[in-house]
């Protein structure tokens, strides 16, 4: 069984988190990495990300640390994760973080690469009149969506 760190933030990542957590024959989600609670609404109340909310419902440990901080690698090591599934996490990771997991970090990107990189790729494909779009999974490297 592969020990997975799940990294994601918005609601679009929640179905994938739930699917990985439900597949206990192949995967063990050992922790969830998401962005820290952010102020939202008129009252600017601190609100957890949809991924954090789902992780807590599933009883999964949540990491909200900044991967750029030196202490993050120690937190990551403690999880025992072998690989990471990344879906709309929203941070660029340093090579030292990418190298920390023996099987690597894998990103689900909601468009056909390399044509549509970055934020809102499916929307940009539609606006450009592309007749098709898709989703790609790739091992994360130093470059953005490469």
CA distance 141 to 123: 24
Overall size of the chain counted in residues: 146
Please tell me whether residue 5 adopts helix, strand or coil conformation: strand
Apex CA 82: angle with CA 52 and CA 137, to 5°? Answer: 70
Please tell me whether residue 109 adopts helix, strand or coil conformation: strand
pTM summary value = 0.89
Above 90 in pLDDT, residue 117? no
Q: What is the mean pLDDT of residues 11-22?
A: 96
CA distance 101 to 113: 24
Q: Between 37 and 84, where is the model more confident?
A: 84
C-beta of residue 117 within 8 angstroms of C-beta of residue 145? yes
Q: Give the pLDDT confidence score for residue 144 in this predicted structure.
A: 57
Q: Give the pLDDT confidence score for residue 44 in this predicted structure.
A: 87
Q: pLDDT tier at 114 (50, 70, 90 boundaries)?
A: confident
Q: What is the mean pLDDT of residues 102-120?
A: 83
CA 137 to chain centre: 12
Q: Give the pLDDT confidence score for residue 85 in this predicted structure.
A: 97
Of 2-6, 26-30, 107-111, where does mean pLDDT reach its minimum?
Answer: 107-111
Q: What is the mean pLDDT of residues 24-47?
A: 90
């Amino acid at each position: 069984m592969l020990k997975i760190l799940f990294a994601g933030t918005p609601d679009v990542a929640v179905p994938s988190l739930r699917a990985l957590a439900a597949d206990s024959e192949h995967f063990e989600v050992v922790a969830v990495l998401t962005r820290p609670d952010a102020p939202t609404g008129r009252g600017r109340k601190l609100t957890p990300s949809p991924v954090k909310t789902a992780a807590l419902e599933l009883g999964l440990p949540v990491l909200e640390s900044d991967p750029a901080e030196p202490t993050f690698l120690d937190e990551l090591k403690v999880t025992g994760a072998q690989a990471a599934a990344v879906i709309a996490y929203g941070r660029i990771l340093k090579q030292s973080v990418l190298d920390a997991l023996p099987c690597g970090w894998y990103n689900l990107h909601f468009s056909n690469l390399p044509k549509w990189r970055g934020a809102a790729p499916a929307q940009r494909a539609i606006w450009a009149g592309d007749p098709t779009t898709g989703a790609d999974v790739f091992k994360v490297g130093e470059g953005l969506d490469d």
